[in-house]
Amino acid sequence: MKRLFFFLIGTMLAFLVSCTTEPEEDRPEWSAAEVCPETGMNSYGMPNRGTFTDERDGQVYKYTTIGNQVWMAENLRYDAPYSMCSNDTSFIRPYCELIEHNCETEACCRESLCRNFGRYYSIIEGGAEFGLIDSALADTICPKGWHVPTKDEWEILEDAMKVSGENGSDVATRMKSADSEYFAISKSWLNAHDRMGTGMDDCALEVLPSGSMYASGSHVKTAAVFVVMTQKSSSFGYTFWISDGGVEFFRNSFRNSIRCVMD
């Protein structure tokens, strides 16, 4: 009787797995031409891809349309309260040696690093690592007409970037810049959440391994980690991670990158 019970349970589990895992050969093909066409106009009456100017400081950002959303195609660089550029001194030298060959000073290297990776932000009250999201602060960080994306909005983007049966690594590959591996200046140990290989960048989102900043000033340097406008617990907000391991939500670190989405 017991043997029959386990046989039935095993059969049921196998059936459920077969129903929820679509064979690769049966999956519909994901199409950038349908999800994020390079040309044409979006629902805001704008070209699907282009640039806009942040009227607060005159900085120009690229944007891209994916599904019904419009996303910044660069990390935010606005000098908001509690934000900072990278201050990881151990990262500056290899960055200049491998990537920035037109700088002769550390200050120049830092400026280049901030231009490519953006600033790092906290939307927690008082700029702390632990605590509640400060909605008033968060509402001032993105340019006019844009906002810090919620968990739901990141999930909408994730869903748009995959078809049924695919996993997070497929999504990550489509999001990552073709230069992501080039910018992934390694550290002495790696795991799936902090390495960044070459991406396909199918929708021109241009995700680079900007990493996550810790209170010590060090980084996870080879993943992309973005602020999420959703509280995870009484102590933390969410972040959205993009790495070779896939795409996942985790708790926030001390400072993280921001990609704004259009209102």
Per residue, the 3-state secondary structure of 139-199, as one string, reads: CCCCCCCEECCCHHHHHHHHHHCCCCCCCHHHHHHHHECCCHHHHCCCCCCCCCCCCCCCC
Could you list the pLDDT tens digit for every one of the 263 residues in the chain? 434 333 333 434 344 434 444 555 666 799 999 999 999 999 999 999 999 999 999 999 999 999 999 999 999 999 999 999 988 877 788 888 888 889 999 999 999 999 999 999 999 999 999 999 999 999 999 999 999 999 999 999 999 999 988 888 999 999 999 988 878 775 554 455 556 788 999 999 999 999 888 887 666 667 899 999 999 999 999 999 998 889 999 999 899 999 999 99
Q: Is residue 8 part of a domain?
A: no
Q: Is residue 203 part of a domain?
A: yes
| Res 187: pLDDT | 52
| Res 201: pLDDT | 97
| Res 234: pLDDT | 93
DSSP 104-119: -SHHHHHHHHHHHH--
Q: What CA dihedral angle connects 229, 158, 181 and 121, to 10 degrees?
A: 0
CA distance 28 to 155: 20
Q: Is residue 182 part of a domain?
A: yes
Structure token digits, residue 83:
């934000």
Dihedral sign, CA of 39, 43, 45, 51? negative
Q: Which domain holds residue 148?
A: 33-262
Q: Is residue 2 part of a domain?
A: no
| Res 205: pLDDT | 98
| Res 215: pLDDT | 81
Q: Is residue 86 part of a domain?
A: yes
Q: Is residue 173 part of a domain?
A: yes
Q: Is residue 20 part of a domain?
A: no
**pTM of the shown model:** 0.85
Number of domains in the chain: 1
Q: Is residue 23 part of a domain?
A: no
Residue count (the chain): 263
For 196, left (φ over 0), alpha (ψ -120 to 50), or beta?
Answer: beta
CA distances from residue 55 to 52, 145, 177, 213, 228 in whole angstroms, order as listed: 9, 11, 27, 27, 23
